[in-house]
């Protein structure tokens, strides 16, 4: 009798654990297609978009992040250079259907200044990384209201461009 009770208890416990382990589907962030870590460079360009100085500050490649806002909006996201280039962090307007973004005369959240980001776009599968892998590409122009270098050195703004960070050593 004890064995029957024990087997019954084990059977019901097993059924309970099997049915209680259902996985809940967790949805992605609203800006998932445009969010990521990017490996980029910043060149100084003239008004026509021609490069005047490659890697003007001699930084080389640096990391830039794009990510979802807490509102999980499909019309805005954060862009953050994490202090690697000019120290900027801003919410930017996005268009998910065209994978484009911009921010005109917005307050810099990293410190008291304003900036403009124009012609921002993410191109799916358009970059080839140094290792030969295919990755998404990001490109935009940026201008800072407290930047005196463009006037002093004869350029208009910076073009930031690069690829989605792969984590591969060969792409560093």
Element (H, E) at 152: helix 149-153
Residue count of the chain, please give it. Answer: 172
Q: For 61-97, write each residue's pLDDT tens digit.
A: 999 999 999 999 999 999 999 999 999 999 999 999 9
Per the structure, the count of domains in the chain is: 1
68 compared with 31, residue with greater pLDDT: 68
Q: Is 8 inside a domain boundary?
A: no
- Is residue 152 assigned to a domain? yes
Long-range contacts from 31-34, C-beta under 8 angstroms, 24+ separation: 31/66, 31/67, 31/68, 31/69, 31/73, 31/74, 31/77, 31/94, 31/96, 32/68, 33/96, 33/99, 33/122, 34/66, 34/77, 34/94, 34/96, 34/99, 34/101, 34/122
pLDDT band for position 168 (cuts 50, 70, 90): confident
Domain that holds residue 57: 36-171
The number of beta carbons lying within 10 Å of the beta carbon of residue 74 is: 15
φ, ψ (nearest 5 deg) of residue 57: -95, 0
Report the CATH number that the domain containing residue 72 is assigned in CATH. Answer: 2.40.128.220
| Residue 59 phi, psi dihedral angles, 5° rounding | -80, -30
- Domain assignment present for residue 2? The answer is no
Q: For the segment 103-149, what is each residue's pLDDT rounded down to a tens digit?
A: 999 999 999 999 999 999 999 999 999 999 999 999 999 999 999 99
HSE, CB side, 13 Å, CA atoms: give it for residue 42.
19
More confident residue, 94 or 18: 94
* pLDDT band of 158, cuts 50, 70, 90: very high
Tokens of 146: 């407290």
pLDDT value of residue 28: 78
Residue 22 lies in a domain: no
Q: Tell me which DSSP letter residue 87 carries.
A: -
Q: Is the pLDDT of residue 54 over 90?
A: yes
Average pLDDT, the chain: 89
């Amino acid at each position: 009798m004890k064995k029957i009770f024990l087997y019954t208890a084990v059977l019901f416990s097993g059924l309970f654990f099997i049915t209680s382990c259902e996985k809940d589907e967790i949805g992605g962030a609203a800006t998932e297609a445009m969010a990521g870590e990017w490996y980029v460079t910043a060149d100084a360009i003239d008004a026509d978009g021609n490069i005047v100085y490659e890697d003007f500050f001699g930084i080389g490649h640096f990391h830039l992040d794009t990510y979802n806002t807490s509102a999980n909006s499909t019309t805005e996201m954060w862009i953050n250079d994490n202090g690697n280039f000019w120290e900027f962090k801003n919410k930017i307007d996005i268009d998910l259907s065209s994978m484009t973004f911009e921010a005109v005369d917005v307050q810099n959240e990293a410190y008291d200044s304003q900036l403009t980001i124009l012609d921002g776009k993410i191109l799916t599968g358009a970059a080839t990384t140094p290792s030969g892998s295919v990755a998404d590409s990001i490109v935009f122009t940026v201008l800072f209201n407290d930047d005196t270098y463009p006037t002093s050195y004869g350029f208009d703004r910076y073009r930031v461009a690069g690829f989605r960070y792969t984590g591969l050593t060969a792409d560093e």
